[in-house]
Structure 1
């Protein structure tokens, strides 16, 4: 299964494709679904232009009841960045008064590789919606996230084949007292993923985000270094769930986790897509599963050898 697929739900609401339904069947109640807005310039939909689709959405739906919006293809996502999407959302803030969740960049590989998605500074959405609880972004190219203050954000998610270190530093410097769930796909240097363990250090201190219960630092080519840093990180004591999946995690990083502070208080440890050998994987299960920790060590990664050099890959890159 691909790790980059259309969202099926957001904020506990099923995704509903507005472009496919408008004019064809009765629309659901505004607050009953997560409205997916996507304009396909090459498809059969009459809405090949996002501006037309957005206007139709504003005219057809009770905006005061909309709770979640998923933004998919907005045209040529590899030519046009997301600043127009950000602007439209900001301009509609006085009408979208119940909006609690936004995801920008819900494109699959057939529409655009994740590295082709051109993002922008997305923080104006948080500034425009002080009651927003969930915010997600797919694509790291051109993405900016300067430090923000937000009192109500519960979940923050970045999906990228290469997430700029500048974004990680912006998140780490933000004031998000209600943040419970932070999920970051770091990616690889080749596609702009230049964040270092030093950039992550503020996230690993206890109390940086006092409400944090789930931390995902995933899809990284430096997953062993991250695992070693996490092993001694004060933040672990406040977590119930830890996700270091989708990256180049080997026995070195897994052993560092085992030798660090206890993880038996967790309910879940996700290490799927990894390069951990079976003996070390067995040690992890034996150390944690008797305490009730659900350990995921599925999907061993594929390796490629060239002139005696073994190459390992993250789950998502280009």
Structure 2
């Protein structure tokens, strides 16, 4: 999986793996609010996530924890549902929590499509002070289910779904949610094989500009219908309020690039991310000339080793 890795920092804090209860340590733990805490139980013998969670509550002043990442958790239960239940059930222990990452897992640990996800709505509802939420995992695949219901949340500023197949129900739920503070929305839509059945019609509320008045960055990326999305974005009212836009990681080709060039002005954008694309050199040059090379993703990397004369099959950056 390209573009998927463990973050070294989260919510502007360095990430620290919490030592397990059986791990020896010579130095005391850092201040609870000085790091982003990462919990993983899957590689620590018979340690269950529930036991690691209790260890976390017992050893760290969780009233000061600002950022939390959930790594591999499946020693005792494959599903993320018990983790969601623990988080929501102990929300009162985390009054300072502002950032949460569900399923900080990379391919060496488990592929996205093999993560057994769950309904994450209870977490959003329980943490009304949350400002940043990242969720990594696919939709329905070998029994896995990632789900979300429409919510009202007045604090959430950044919402990011990293997926090789984001279910259309997630996209529609986001569009039906009330998120007046949302500034950054990033959706990796993925492919149908892994549950990514989102259509352009599903994106209509997001593209209208009416749903999220504070939105300044929109990422609709990693899609096998990237040309169709680009065509819709080219006339979407939301673009006027954006400072940056990403249509990266997908199958974007000349059709989508031409739509962007022929559509509404994009010159107000400070950044247009199109990396991992299938656009011809001539149209790449036109995009650079329109916005300036420094604002079109810097390198605007194309997909390596792809020759349209020999192979017309396009692929997204992250699928399985």
Scaled by the length of structure 1, the TM-score of the pair is 0.93
* Residues in 1 aligned to 2:46 and 2:96: alpha-carbon distance in whole angstroms: 25
Counterpart position of 1:215: 218
* Residues in 2 aligned to 1:76 and 1:242: alpha-carbon distance in whole angstroms: 39
Counterpart position of 2:158: 155
Does structure 1 residue 234 correspond to structure 2 residue 246? no
Secondary structure at 2:319 match in 1: coil
Q: Is the 8 A contact 1:274 1:297 kept in 2?
A: no
Counterpart position of 2:9: 9
Counterpart position of 2:49: 50
* Residues in 1 aligned to 2:281 and 2:98: alpha-carbon distance in whole angstroms: 43
Which residues of 2 match residues 53-202 of structure 1 at below 5 A?
53-75=52-74, 80-141=78-139, 142-202=145-205
Change (3 A) 1:167 1:76: farther
Q: CA RMSD in A?
A: 2.1
Q: Is the 8 A contact 2:100 2:132 kept in 1?
A: yes
Does structure 1 residue 224 correspond to structure 2 residue 227? yes
Counterpart position of 1:18: 18
* Cα distance, 1:19 vs structure 2: 2.7
* Residues in 2 aligned to 1:100 and 1:68: alpha-carbon distance in whole angstroms: 6
Greater strand share, structure number: 1
Q: Is the 8 A contact 2:231 2:260 kept in 1?
A: yes
Q: Is the 8 A contact 1:115 1:140 kept in 2?
A: yes
Change (3 A) 1:247 1:76: farther
Secondary structure at 2:92 match in 1: coil
| Count of matched residue pairs | 313
Counterpart position of 2:142: none
* Cα distance, 1:295 vs structure 2: 3.4
Secondary structure at 2:177 match in 1: coil
Change (3 A) 1:229 1:296: farther
* Residues in 2 aligned to 1:60 and 1:47: alpha-carbon distance in whole angstroms: 20
Runs of 5+ consecutive residues of structure 2 not aligned to the other structure: 140-144
- 1:156-177 deviations in whole A, cap 9, x for unaligned? 0000000000110000100000
Which residues of 2 match residues 22-33 of structure 1 at below 5 A?
23-24=24-25, 25-33=27-35
Q: Which moved more, 1:64-73 or 1:13-22?
A: 13-22
* Residues in 2 aligned to 1:19 and 1:154: alpha-carbon distance in whole angstroms: 30
* Residues in 2 aligned to 1:88 and 1:168: alpha-carbon distance in whole angstroms: 25
Scaled by the length of structure 2, the TM-score of the pair is 0.93
Runs of 5+ consecutive residues of structure 1 not aligned to the other structure: none
Secondary structure at 1:39 match in 2: coil
Q: Is the 8 A contact 2:274 2:296 kept in 1?
A: no
* Residues in 2 aligned to 1:294 and 1:254: alpha-carbon distance in whole angstroms: 12
* Cα distance, 1:59 vs structure 2: 0.3
